[in-house]
């Protein structure tokens, strides 16, 4: 991939060398993604969100980076996310909507940039860099047309005017018809937009050392503001508040009795029509002077902006209550800076900055389309700053970054004046000016301290502390006592991250984790009340409190082949407002609320495939963005939620062989997803309003019935089954590829065993329990989706490893991701399926193990032969991303214990993780179950990882042959996996005895042992393969019954942790030790047995299955007693359970006798003899009239075994 050059630190650098979280898009990428306005960049950047009042065409735009944003309708106060164009600060929020065309690149810097960019960059910044003039004459013209008669025409031309002068001119126009119709008046142009923008840049070589760049720009956008949808909150018969589900089904009325009969966003009801517009113009001059020791830069900018927006906030039936905001801004900025190199190989930048602006902001309340209480207020700002940053190497691999900036600022509220002479509806108005010369003077130091470590050319690790600052503001109201001023915001940020490249630069994988201490959070608080039959809407811009923010971002970009490009971004975010109880909205404190427009998770990605032909290059592309639920306002009202949603776009391209012509067809928002950009709830009007209908889930019995319908729960099981398949394809693909990996990377069997076992298992098992605890507290669907994306991405990275260490790290990454696979899946299945069907459902889910193993072996054997092991890893990794998106888009979170007939309080938090672990481990049956399953897995994983190398070494099979046989064998394992769950459910119900879940597991584990010995000791391939079939069937029977019992032993909100605990034991003992033990033992036996060392190592390991079987039978002794104790002492205990899980109250339990014996005699010399035996007997008394004896015995001698075939 091409190097990405950014100017995030005021000088041109490779993005991979910059120790901050930055995303960048080239002009070609912006065109291919269909971006034509600045806010669309947020769709492909993690933890970057856009919000607007009055729809996407409104001049009031809010950018949100990592939860930090400004919320103020008036435009009188400064934003928290800065917008720059060609190094010039844009003072008005509406300027961020300027059309995006003819750009060199766009950069998004996440986190406070208080050193080099200064004030009002607490959240981060968006920087657009225009395309510069070239010496050669170049240009282009493009036109597009789409739905709603949307047309975009743009073009640019540039080149040399003289030997020292170059120029470039670019223009774009956009026109779009309305998409909303007023059902009262029939007006159908709401949402209509018309705009144009133009830019001219001239570069002049003033001397050999001095370059001057002069630019002017202008834009004009007009639109008819899209109208809000109104939803009443009152029951039309009783007048009581409705639940959200009824509100958004349009079943309720407002205070005036109005009900929207058609809640479609395309059909609105309004009494007010309001035009919006924004006009921007500006000019800049940049001078660059180069010397031997430093480069000097001067940037002067002037910006002028005017914007207006408005709309209706009350539903029809009341007085038509609306608003209008109008703002004019003039600003001037000047920066002088110098950059240079230090003697030790470092760099420095230093400079001074001056800025001033003046904002005139008008607003008025509209009553029946007439303006009342118009206000005019003027704020002005003057600030200067000096800054410096040094980056200095401390060694060949470690560098330090230190920077600081001092800002001195004066902001003033010059006047607030009311201009309307009278209001017939509310009486006469006093025209006395309400304020004069309120002023804020502040001096603030911001800065950065960081360390960067570059262990090699492809990896950089960094850690930073930085401080951001946003100036104070005003609350421009009539009541002088509430004007302010509002104190500044400050943000202390701790961030750690990495930048990495792999596979010869074909893959970039960057990430960051961050923690914010956000002080003085500024926000607009709205209170609605009714006084003397008059609606009063009070808004105040205040410091709402402090906030704690933490999160993470991952960005993966890969050129998977010469024709296939993929990118994936993941954003994780958690925000909490810490406010005084006196800060309330409609009487409700906002302390503990989430910050607005801050989804806990967001995903974005692009997949593009190019097809070169003689007729030109064809390409198909898909891109998407998904975001989690958000609150639109700081009060976190349930009627102001935007639920999670996903936007998918598809495009097809053609480019002529000479690259002079391009054609494109596209579908944007393929799923026709509707989502709200802003919403407001009013208590006095008994209504909420938003830009479209919002479908809110409700924990009512009706919603639960829909989730528990047979077709939907079977669909859920099917999708989770697909996820299970992907899970085991990605997990087991390594085993079939071990031999080619060993040859290329020159690894030992011990190293291979570590890759196939311990490296994966330690992280998979240890992270499984805390991730499961998170799933018991948060959305299991989201935990599963995030985990699937992580392990899929890391599987792709396995194919790009060039050493044992890099492959080890990638496998650890797969383990980290897969830690969140099974626990949330098991918990979801247990809530969707009743107890008597649960083992079968879990067994069906577990079919993903043999099916995934089968696919992994088939694809691994074929792919390694056809494409090599590296490409094979990449091929199997990508489908997981698709399944993860399917899970996010279609699976719904069920109420905990939905099918258990439980009296469950859904708001009650689950018990602490440690308490759940103690509860589980206090049950003898669970301890035996966990140890039995772990020992079984010890054999299964060692057997599974080393089967392919064994067949290649001992029976001289080729990779495709091994893949084919092992694929078929794994597929046959489906029989055993399903049969285990099916038999466990049927036998326990038939015998009215829950112990049969463990008996099925113990018997099947015991039966498979002699067949496994045949696999590794017989010389004939037919006997080996036949025994593998039987062992595969027996080996999967323990899964469904084991997990069903682990869930039965705990309450619904403990199930994910129960699964994770069982998986922890299974994977530490099984996956962690099994493959590694076999590899280690094989290396140890090599001097004595040569190539047959692996054969005998596997034979020694498989004897653990005898031990495993004994623990299943011992666990059965106390199972019924443990079940009874569990469900009478755990929270949310079931009111009734399926037959077989409890005896009657008169049953007594007494163990009369138990017998276990075993013998293994193995002579590895000629003749081969093996004698194996195990007997378990249990005699129990139930009351006086019932006696039951269970016995199992197996005694086989080696010469008799071939007779079975």
How high is the pLDDT of residue 1182? 35
Strands 630-631 vs 616-627: parallel, antiparallel or unpaired: unpaired
Q: Is the pLDDT of residue 217 over 90?
A: yes
According to the model, what pLDDT value does residue 1107 have? 84
pLDDT band at 198 (very low <50, low <70, confident <90, very high): very high
Question: Using CA atoms, how far apart are residues 137 and 157, in angstroms rounded to an integer?
Answer: 7
pLDDT of residue 563: 85
Q: Would you say residue 517 has pLDDT above 80?
A: yes
Tokens 């834009």 belong to residue: 219
183 and 262 Cβ atoms separated by less than 8 Å: yes
Question: Which of 228-232, 651-655, 779-783, 1173-1177 comes out lowest in average pLDDT?
Answer: 1173-1177
What is the spatial distance between Cα 412 and Cα 818, in angstroms, rounded to a whole number? 56
* Residue range 705-732: mean pLDDT, rounded: 79
3-state secondary structure labels for all residues of 497-509: EEEEEEHHHCEEE
- How many other C-beta atoms can be found within 10 angstroms of the C-beta atom of residue 1161? 11
CATH superfamily of 703-897+909-1134: MFS general substrate transporter like domains (1.20.1250.20)
The structure tokens listed for 699 are 């924990």
Residue 527 has pLDDT above 70, yes or no: no
Q: Cα angle at 635 between 631 and 640, to 5 degrees?
A: 40
Per-residue model confidence (pLDDT) at position 392: 93
* Of 401 and 787, more confident: 401
pLDDT band at 11 (very low <50, low <70, confident <90, very high): confident
> Residue 787's pLDDT band (boundaries 50, 70, 90)?
confident
Q: pLDDT tens across 758-784, in order?
A: 667 677 767 777 777 777 777 888 888
If you average pLDDT over residues 247-251, what whole number do you get?
Answer: 73
CA separation for the pair 997, 1006 (Å, rounded): 15
Q: What is the pLDDT of residues 936-987, one digit of tens each?
A: 888 877 777 777 788 888 887 877 777 777 777 776 776 777 777 678 777 8
Q: How far, in Å, CA of 689 to CA of 679, rounded? A: 6
- Provide the percentage of residues in the chain whose pLDDT is more than 90: 18
Instruction: Kindly give the interhelix angle for 959-990 and 924-955, rounded to the nearest 10 degrees.
Output: 160
Helix or strand (DSSP H, E) at 938: helix 924-955
Please enumerate in sequence order all residues whose Cβ is within 8 A of that of 531, keeping only pairs 6 or more positions apart, or say none. Answer: none
Contact residues for 693 (Cβ-Cβ < 8 A; gap 6+) = 229, 248, 250, 263, 264, 265, 674
pLDDT digits 0-9 by tens, 453-483: 998 888 899 999 999 988 888 876 655 556 6
> CB-based contacts of 1090: which residues, under 8 Å, 6+ apart?
none
Mean pLDDT, range 1186-1204, rounded to an integer: 35
pLDDT of 863 strictly over 90: no
**May I ask the CATH class of domain 5-129?**
mainly beta
Q: Which pLDDT does position 428 carry in this prediction?
A: 42
Class of domain 130-229+265-491+501-672: mainly beta
For residue 434, pLDDT beyond 60: no
What pLDDT was estimated at residue 402? 95
Higher pLDDT, 786 or 104: 104
Q: Are strands 267-268 and 181-182 parallel, antiparallel or unpaired?
A: parallel
Which of 60-64, 427-431, 530-534 is predicted with the least confidence, judged by mean pLDDT? 427-431
Tell me the mean pLDDT in the region 200-221. 94
For residues 591 and 1006, what is the distance between their CA atoms, to the nearest angstrom? 59
* Residue 658: burial class (beta carbons within 10 Å; 0-12, 13-18, 19+): exposed
Q: Between these two residues, 597 and 425, which has the higher pLDDT value?
A: 597
252 or 449, greater pLDDT: 449
Which DSSP helix (H) or strand (E) runs through 516?
strand 507-531
For 254, 672, 779, 1179, the CA distances from 675, given in Å and listed in that order, are 22, 10, 21, 65
Backbone angles phi, psi at 1058, to 5 degrees: -60, -45
pLDDT in the model for residue 287: 97
Stronger pLDDT, 991 or 273, i.e. the higher one: 991
Question: Domain spans of the chain?
Answer: 5-129, 130-229+265-491+501-672, 230-264, 703-897+909-1134, 1144-1205
Query: In this predicted structure, what is the pLDDT of residue 1142?
Result: 30
Residue 294 has pLDDT above 80, yes or no: yes
Tell me the pLDDT band of 1022, cut-offs 50, 70 and 90. confident
Q: What's the pTM value of the predicted model, to 2 decimals?
A: 0.66
Higher pLDDT, 349 or 1052: 349
Q: In 3D, which of 509, 451, 498, 552 has the Cα closest to residue 111? A: 552
Question: For a pLDDT cut of 70, what percent of the chain falls above it?
Answer: 77
Per-residue pLDDT reduced to its tens digit, 372-394: 556 677 888 999 999 999 999 99
> How high is the pLDDT of residue 1069?
78
The CA distance from 256 to 685, in Å, is: 8
Write down the pLDDT at residue 1126.
53
**Among 17-31, 332-346, 688-702, 1069-1083, which stretch is predicted with the lowest mean pLDDT?**
688-702
Specify the higher pLDDT residue, 928 or 202. 202
Contact indicator for 128, 100 with CB cutoff of 8 Å? yes
Note whether 729 and 878 are within 8 A (CB).
no
In terms of C-beta density within 10 A (0-12 exposed, 13-18 middle, 19 or more buried), how is residue 1106 classed?
buried
Q: What is the pLDDT of residue 531?
A: 54
Question: What is the pLDDT, as a whole number, of residue 68?
Answer: 93
Task: Specify the pLDDT at position 138.
Answer: 92
Q: What is the pLDDT of residue 341?
A: 92
Q: What is the pLDDT of residue 539?
A: 67
Do the domains 5-129 and 130-229+265-491+501-672 sit in the same CATH topology, yes or no? no
Q: For residue 199, what pLDDT is reported?
A: 94
What DSSP assignment string belongs to 791-826? HHHHHHHHTT--SHHHHHHHHHHHHHHHTTTHHHHH
Mean pLDDT value across residues 284-290 = 96
Q: What is the pLDDT of residues 648-668, one digit of tens each?
A: 888 888 999 988 898 888 888
* Across 131-137, average pLDDT: 93
Confidence of residue 426 (pLDDT cuts 50, 70, 90): very low
Confidence of residue 746 (pLDDT cuts 50, 70, 90): confident
Q: Which of 215-224, 614-623, 868-877 is predicted least confidently?
A: 868-877
Mean pLDDT of the chain: 77
| Angle 844-848-850 from CA coordinates, rounded to 5° | 105
pLDDT for position 818: 83
Q: What is the pLDDT of residues 896-943, one digit of tens each?
A: 666 665 444 444 555 666 676 777 777 788 788 788 888 888 887 777
Task: Kindly state the average pLDDT of the residues 353-368.
Answer: 78
Per residue in 1050-1109, pLDDT tens?
A: 766 666 667 667 777 777 777 777 777 888 888 888 888 888 888 888 888 888 888 888
* Residue 910 to residues 13, 773, 895, 1131, Cα–Cα distance (Å): 49, 9, 13, 8
**Of 239-243, 449-453, 678-682, which range is least confident?**
678-682
């Amino acid at each position: 991939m091409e190097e990405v050059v950014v100017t995030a630190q005021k000088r041109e650098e490779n993005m991979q060398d910059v120790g901050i979280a930055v995303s960048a898009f080239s002009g070609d990428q912006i065109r291919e993604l269909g971006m034509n306005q600045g806010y669309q960049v947020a769709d492909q950047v993690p933890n970057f969100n856009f919000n607007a009042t009055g729809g996407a065409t409104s001049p009031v735009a809010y950018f949100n980076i990592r939860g930090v944003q400004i919320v103020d309708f008036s435009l009188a106060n400064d934003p928290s996310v800065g917008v720059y164009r060609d190094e010039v600060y844009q003072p008005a929020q509406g300027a961020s909507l300027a059309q995006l065309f003819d750009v060199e690149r766009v950069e998004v810097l996440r986190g406070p940039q208080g050193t080099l960019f200064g004030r009002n960059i607490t959240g981060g910044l968006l920087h657009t860099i225009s395309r510069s003039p070239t010496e050669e004459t170049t240009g282009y013209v493009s036109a597009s047309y789409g739905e709603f008669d949307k047309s975009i025409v743009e073009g640019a031309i540039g080149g040399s005017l003289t030997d020292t002068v170059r120029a470039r001119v670019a223009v774009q126009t956009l026109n779009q018809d309305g998409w909303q119709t007023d059902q009262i008046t029939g007006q159908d142009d709401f949402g209509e937009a018309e705009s144009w923008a133009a830019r001219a840049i001239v570069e002049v070589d003033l001397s050999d050392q001095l370059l001057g760049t002069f630019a002017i720009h202008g834009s004009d956008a007009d639109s008819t503001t899209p109208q809000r949808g109104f939803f009443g909150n009152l029951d039309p018969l009783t007048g009581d508040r409705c639940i959200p589900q009824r509100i958004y089904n349009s079943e309720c009325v407002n205070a005036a009795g109005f009900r929207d009969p058609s809640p479609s966003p395309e059909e609105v009801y309004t009494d007010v029509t309001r035009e919006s517009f924004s006009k921007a113009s500006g000019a800049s001059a940049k001078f660059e002077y180069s010397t031997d020791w430093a480069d000097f830069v001067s940037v002067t900018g002037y910006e002028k902006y005017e914007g207006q927006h408005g709309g209706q906030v009350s539903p029809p039936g009341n007085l038509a209550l609306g608003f209008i905001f109008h703002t004019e801004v003039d600003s001037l900025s000047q920066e002088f800076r110098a950059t240079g190199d230090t003697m030790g190989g470092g760099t420095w930048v230093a400079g001074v900055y001056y800025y001033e602006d003046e904002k005139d902001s008008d607003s008025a309340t509209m009553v029946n389309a007439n303006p009342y209480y118009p206000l005019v207020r003027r704020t002005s700002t003057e600030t200067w700053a000096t800054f410096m940053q040094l980056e200095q190497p401390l060694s060949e691999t470690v560098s330090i970054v230190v920077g600081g900036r001092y800002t001195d600022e004066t902001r003033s509220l010059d006047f607030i004046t009311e201009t309307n002479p009278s209001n017939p509806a509310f009486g006469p108005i006093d025209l006395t000016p309400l304020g004069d010369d309120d002023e804020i003077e502040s001096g603030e130091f911001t800065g950065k301290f960081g360390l960067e470590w570059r262990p090699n050319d492809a990896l950089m690790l960094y850690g930073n502390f930085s401080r951001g600052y946003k100036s104070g503001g005003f609350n421009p109201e009539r009541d002088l006592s509430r004007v302010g001023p509002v104190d500044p915001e400050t943000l202390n940020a701790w961030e750690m991250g990495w930048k990495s490249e792999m596979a010869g630069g074909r893959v970039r994988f960057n990430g960051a984790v961050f923690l914010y201490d956000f002080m003085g959070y500024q926000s607009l608080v709205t209170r609605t009340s009714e006084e003397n039959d008059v609606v009063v809407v009070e808004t105040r811009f205040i410091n709402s409190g402090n906030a704690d923010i933490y999160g993470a971002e991952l960005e993966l970009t890969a050129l998977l082949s010469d024709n296939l490009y993929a990118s994936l971004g993941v954003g994780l975010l958690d925000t909490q407002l810490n406010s005084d109880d006196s800060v309330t909205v409609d009487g409700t404190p906002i302390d503990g609320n989430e910050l607005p427009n801050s989804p806990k998770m967001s995903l974005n990605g692009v997949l593009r495939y190019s097809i070169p032909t003689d007729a030109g290059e064809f390409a198909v592309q898909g891109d998407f963005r998904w975001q989690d639920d958000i609150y639109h306002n700081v009060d976190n009202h349930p009627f102001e939620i935007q639920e999670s949603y996903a936007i998918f776009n598809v495009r097809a391209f053609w480019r002529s062989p000479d690259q002079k012509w391009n054609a494109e067809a596209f579908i944007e928002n393929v799923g026709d997803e509707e989502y709200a950009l802003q919403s407001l709830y009013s208590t006095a009007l008994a209504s909420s309003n938003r830009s479209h209908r919002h479908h809110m889930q409700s924990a009512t019995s009706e919603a639960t019935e829909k989730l528990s319908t047979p077709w939907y729960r079977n669909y859920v099981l099917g999708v989770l089954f697909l996820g299970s398949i992907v899970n085991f394809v990605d997990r087991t693909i390594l085993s079939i590829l071990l031999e080619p990996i060993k040859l290329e990377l020159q690894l030992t069997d011990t190293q291979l065993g570590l890759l196939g076992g311990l490296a994966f298992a330690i992280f998979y098992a240890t992270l499984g329990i805390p991730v499961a605890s998170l799933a018991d507290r948060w959305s299991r669907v989201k935990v599963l989706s995030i985990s699937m994306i992580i392990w899929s991405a890391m599987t792709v990275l396995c194919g790009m490893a060039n050493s044992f260490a890099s492959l080890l790290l990638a496998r650890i990454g797969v383990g980290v991701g897969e830690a969140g696979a099974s626990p949330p899946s098991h918990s979801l299945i247990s809530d969707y399926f009743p107890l008597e069907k649960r083992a079968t459902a879990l067994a069906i889910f577990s079919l993903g193990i043999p099916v995934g193993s089968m696919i992994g072996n088939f694809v691994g054997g074929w792919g390694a032969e056809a494409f090599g092991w590296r490409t094979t890893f990449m091929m199997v990794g990508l489908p997981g991303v698709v399944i993860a998106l399917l899970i996010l888009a279609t699976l719904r979170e069920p109420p905990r214990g939905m099918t258990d007939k439980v009296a469950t309080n859904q708001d009650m938090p689950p018990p602490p993780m440690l308490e759940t672990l103690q509860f589980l481990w206090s049950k003898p049956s669970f301890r035996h179950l966990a140890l039995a399953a772990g020992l079984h897995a010890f054999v299964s994983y060692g057997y599974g990882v080393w089967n392919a190398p064994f067949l290649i070494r001992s029976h001289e099979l080729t990779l495709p042959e091994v893949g084919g046989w092992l694929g078929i064998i794994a597929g046959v394992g489906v029989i055993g996996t399903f049969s285990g769950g099916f038999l466990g459910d049927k036998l326990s119900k038939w015998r009215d005895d829950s112990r049969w879940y463990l008996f099925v597991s113990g018997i099947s584990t015991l039966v498979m042992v002699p067949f496994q010995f045949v696999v590794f000791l017989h010389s004939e391939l037919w006997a080996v393969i036949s025994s593998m079939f039987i062992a595969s069937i027996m080996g999967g029977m323990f899964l469904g019954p084991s997990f069903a019992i682990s869930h039965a032993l705990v309450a619904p909100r403990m199930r994910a942790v129960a699964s994770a605990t069982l998986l922890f034991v299974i994977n530490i003992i099984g996956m962690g030790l099994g493959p590694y033990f076999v590899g280690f033992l094989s290396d140890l036996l090599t001097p004595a047995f040569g190539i047959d060392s692996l054969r005998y190592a596997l034979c020694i390991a498989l004897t653990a299955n005898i031990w495993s079987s004994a623990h299943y039978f011992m666990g059965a002794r106390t199972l019924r007693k443990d079940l009874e104790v569990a469900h009478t002492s755990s929270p949310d205990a079931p009111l009734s359970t399926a037959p077989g899980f409890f005896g009657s109250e008169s049953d007594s339990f007494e163990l009369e006798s138990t017998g276990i014996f075993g013998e293994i005699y193995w002579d590895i010399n000629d003749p081969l003899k093996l004698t194996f035996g195990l007997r378990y007997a249990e005699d129990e008394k139930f009351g006086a009239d019932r006696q039951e004896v269970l016995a199992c015995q197996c005694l086989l001698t080696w010469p008799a075994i071939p007779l079975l075939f």
